[in-house]
Amino acid sequence: MTYRVRTTQRAEADAEAMYLWIAEHEAQPVNALRWLDGLQDAIASLREHPLRCPRAPETAHFDAEVRQLLFHSHRVLFVVEGEDVVVLHIRHASRLPANDEDLAGAED
């Protein structure tokens, strides 16, 4: 089965902010573009077998089963809704788990 993958505005804003941070702080700004391309490929991989990814700690604070895809030092938080994979939020793995406020409005 192939799933449809969509990202929320929140997740897109997260990715853009991380891209801009990497571009500003890396010695070689081209690394930011490589990171973003890799992130997009990782998210696209969720079309196939998204349930391979483990449940995220955020599941305890959200109405749905939140799963996580690890990408380098970041976690891609998503839910599976029928035939859809919805990417809710992207956060650095060193941060504490997302809370209700972090995920509020993520399903737009």
- Superfamily in which the 4-103 domain is placed by CATH: RelE-like (3.30.2310.20)
What is the Cα 46 distance to its own chain's centre?
Answer: 11
The predicted-structure confidence for 6-50, as pLDDT tens digits, reads as follows: 999 999 999 999 999 999 998 788 899 999 999 999 999 999 999
* Both tokens assigned to 55: 């449940």
The C-alpha atoms of residue 99 and residue 102 are separated, in whole angstroms, by 5
Q: What residue segments make up the domains of the chain, in order of their start?
A: 4-103
Task: State pTM to two decimals.
Answer: 0.89
Longest CA pairwise span in the chain (Å): 43
The predicted-structure confidence for 43-96, as pLDDT tens digits, reads as follows: 999 999 999 999 999 888 778 899 999 999 999 999 999 999 999 999 988 887
What ranges in the chain are assigned the alpha helix state H? 9-25, 30-44, 100-103
